[in-house]
Chains A and B, each alone.
Chain A
Amino acid sequence: MRTSDSLRKTYGETLVELGKDNKDIVMLEADLGNSTMSSLFGNAYPERYFQMGIAEQNMASVAAGLALAGKVPFINSFAVFATGRAYDQIRSSVAIANLNVKICGSSAGLSDYGDGKTHQSIDDIALMQVLPHMTVLSPCDAVESEMMTKAMVNEKGPMYLRINRNDLKIVTDPQAEYHIGKMTEMVQGNDVVVFATGIMVQQSMEAAKLLEKENISVRVVNVSTIKPLDVEALQMYCEGVKAVVTAEEHSVIGGLGSAICSALSQKRLPIGIVGIEDTFGTSAENYSILLKHFGLEAEDVAKKVRSVLSVR
């Protein structure tokens, strides 16, 4: 049962809950357990918690071995290290072999605001979604964090979960049924559809409110499974609209926007991408400063909607 609005704490607590009955779940950590919240699992089941030290490459391949032995290993680190530092290990040991390894990229996007560009992931979705066999999940709140964590245990195959470090407003319905691949309409509208993921879901919902005052009707869809992308649902939500906007806390290259552009390439619809423009992050005293600086506020989404509507 979810106890807070923290995505990472919910992730850790959910695994503790699941680990009670499912003895195959094992956790691996690279010395960031108090941030990733994998430490909760370690406290509950020390015999199934492997502290691998600051050695992410070894951690990823050890997880592959544990999966070969029938376990359900979760590897944990900050998103930059979990994906980038261990990229070839994930590619070679895990993804090619299609092993049941779950990767939790914590403090994703700019959410580790103080630590700066080395610790902020603007490329993790790109790295993971390009890998065949890999599922890429991006929860927009703690409810989804819980649902996704459960689904990751229930479904086989390599999966990447991208978790924001900060508490996010609950925007999804805790009672709604969840499955991997699900796309959810958050706001109804018919002029423009905004496909958003992660924190950009709440920003886009806010943008829809702003635009309502200008008589622009915006549909907001939460795309929390970036891969496999439900192309049918994507096309369905495009029906009747004049333009499309995508929104993500990630580089505009290789993320949700790229995936959607590619999926809608046969449609005659203008598409605008809201994301981080081909640049690395930076330190700031709080998260809001970064969201403003990198153009990830509600007003930025609204601006993009106005701009795609003006395309003729």
Chain B
Amino acid sequence: MNYSQQTINELKRKAIQVRSNILEMIPPGKVGHLGGSSSIADVMAALYFHTMKVNGSDPKNPLRDRLIMSKGHAVLVQYACLVELGYFPREELSKVKTFNGMLQGHPDMDRTPGIEAVTGSLGQGLSVSLGLALGLRLDHSSSRVYTILGDGELAEGQVWEAVMAAPDFKVNNLTAIVDWNGVQATSTTKEIFPIENLEEKWKAFGWNVLVIDGHDMVQILDALDRAKTYTEGPSVILAHTVKGKCFPFAEGKAKYHNASMTEEEYQTAWSCIEKMKREVEA
């Protein structure tokens, strides 16, 4: 499909803003999941600011699309999007993971507007999404369900229970997205628990599989649109990404899965944001 340069640039700006919100949440001394939040930031920007029907001032609108963060530890990127849409005040960002804040360490639907389910114990989000998709279908709703999975998370057996089940129920209102960054908590997925032939695996279970560069906005929008128009069953977008994307000191490194940045790294990160802004405007 064709997207105007204006749309693409606007979404690129949003993705930069999302990454800068992530930085705002985890200044030096505060531990947070930088790596897995920034790897999926471009996809999340496309979802929240283009593809999904959502409204920050009406979080419970029954007609909304739903996003379930199955890799709940990367919820910083979701907060970074939700705040832009006005789901909660900006001051909450600095209070993330504090006793009085609205933003918990993992997604908590009771505390945070815009969070659709409780996730964090890995491997459950796709199943929850399947249930939501089935429920919405019973109501003849046009709402869609999006699920973000980590590639390390795919080691959880329950993911594959859901992968097997969803095509059986022919849910075409469900899109799964795998943040295929190749790095998990302590090392690469190749070293920890390699899952080969990912594309073939999802295909064999009956999914419509779309493989993309998860940092290319055109490819992201195109895949999301293709998933939307596919009517035979569920779609999965396998998004090749880089853990810690846009922050060179963190890119591809397990160390920044959940870490705090040094003062120097933090400054570097902000200069990366500034550089990206200049590039988009040029």
Chain A positions near chain B (C-beta within 8 angstroms): 26, 47-48, 50, 52-53, 55, 57-58, 60-71, 73, 88-89, 91-93, 96-98
Contact = CB atoms under 8 A, between A and B. Distances in A.
A98 B118 CA distance: 10
A69 B129 CA distance: 10
A66 B131 contact: yes
B109 A57 contact: no
Given A50-B134, A58-B165, A68 B116 contact: yes
Interface residues of B, number: 31
B131 A64 contact: yes
Given A48-B138, A69-B136, A89-B158, A97 B131 contact: no
Given A47-B138, A61-B158, 7 more contacts: A58-B127, A58-B130, A58-B158, A61-B131, A70-B139, A89-B158, A93-B128
Contacts, number: 104
Given A58-B162, A93-B124, A65 B118 contact: no
Contacts of B212: none
Nearest to B158: A57
Contacts of B105: none
3 A-B pairs with the lowest CB-CB distances in the bound complex, closest first? A65-B131, A69-B135, A61-B127
A65 B128 contact: yes
5 contacts: A62-B131, A62-B134, A65-B129, A66-B135, A88-B124
Contacts of A65: 117, 127-135
A63 B131 contact: yes
B27 to A, nearest CB: 29
A57 B122 CA distance: 12
Contact of B117 (A26, A47, A93): A93
Residue of A58, A64, A67 with highest tally of chain B CB at under 10 A: A58
Nearest to A28: B131
A52 B168 CA distance: 10
Contacts of A69: 131-132, 134-136, 138-139
B128 A55 contact: no
A91 B118 CA distance: 10
Interface in B117-169: 117-121, 124-125, 127-136, 138-139, 157-158, 161-162, 164-165, 169
B110 A97 contact: yes
Nearest to A52: B165
Contacts of A62: 127-128, 130-131, 134, 162, 165
Contacts of B136: 69
A92 B135 contact: no
